[in-house]
Amino acid sequence: MMRTLVLALAALVLAGPAAASEARPTQHELESELICPTCHTTLDQSNAPVAQQMKAVIAARIAAGDTKSEIEVRLVADYGRGVLAKPDVKGFDLLAWVLPIAGLLIGAVVVGVAAWRWSARRDVADDVDAEPLEPELEQLVDEELRRLEA
């Protein structure tokens, strides 16, 4: 119950900045999320003429009070879907979101299984390699242990 409350509270706290970013985007934020169609780098790294035009459109739209989504829709309409730096969350582009997560999960499982097998093998190896002591040596060890305990 407490965990659910904490998660809900965290979601509410984090929703505010995300909504503010949508309503009042910054020039830098949009430039880092859009790609120049000429040089295929983000706008904040490009000085191509097309990138300069896109930056001017972004500045004008921010001044006009457009939301982040409205500006992105306009740029996609003018320059195509290739200007978005993040892939869609549908169709084939969904693989770009799923594969890294799946890779991390598979890697964690492989490491966990390997560690479990390695530790189980060590336990078995410790038991198999242990040979019984000769009776005289075992008696000497017992005497020495009693002497140390006293």
What domain range includes position 115?
Answer: 97-149
CA distance linking residue 135 with residue 101, whole number of Å: 58
pLDDT tens digits, one per residue of 24-61:
888 899 989 899 988 889 888 988 999 999 999 999 99
Contact 36, 48 (CB under 8 A): yes
Identify residue 87 by its one-letter amino acid code.
P
pLDDT tens digits, one per residue of 54-64:
999 999 999 99
In a domain, 9, yes or no: no
Segment 14-26 shows an average pLDDT of 63
- Tally the domains of the chain: 2
Residue 35, SS3 per DSSP: strand
User: Domain with 61 in it: what CATH number?
Assistant: 1.10.8.640
Question: Is the pTM here over 0.85, yes or no?
Answer: no
- Alpha-carbon torsion (138, 142, 143, 147), positive or negative: positive
In a domain, 8, yes or no: no
CA distance linking residue 62 with residue 76, whole number of Å: 16
Indicate whether 29 and 82 sit together in one domain. yes
